Amino acid sequence: MCIGIPGQIVALHETQPDHAWAQVCGLRREVNIALVREGEREALIGCWVLIHVGFALSRLDEQEALDTLAALHAMEEVEADVALFLGAGETR
């Protein structure tokens, strides 16, 4: 299954200008922001993005992100792949 998951940009990478840290279901993950970066990269902090294989593919508004996360969590009960993608079993 190939899905993207919403994450919120919480910090910028200190040494790589096209990378940032996103909060995804309670976990902090490094993501490439080159595809969603417009202007100053500092403007991305707090933005919601759709993440797939380590790349922020597009920006989302907060409600769309929260609705998508709720749907993914509902799917987690029936789809083992979704549970793995959301980080079930990882230490937080």
Q: What is the CATH number of the domain that holds 13?
A: 2.30.30.140
Q: What is the pLDDT along the chain (92 residues), one digit of tens a residue?
A: 567 899 999 999 999 999 999 998 888 999 999 999 988 999 999 999 999 999 999 999 999 999 988 888 887 755 665 566 666 544 44
pLDDT given at position 86: 65
Q: How far apart are CA 1 and CA 22, in angstroms?
A: 22
Is residue 90, in this structure, part of any structural domain at all? no
* Any domain includes 92: no
On whether residue 91 sits in a domain, the answer given is no
Number of domains, the chain:
1
Q: Is residue 70 part of a domain?
A: yes
In a domain, 75, yes or no: yes
State the residue range of the domain holding 70. Answer: 5-85
DSSP labels, 18-74: TEEEEEETTEEEEEE-TTT--S-GGGGTT-EEEEETTEEEEEE-HHHHHHHHHHHHH
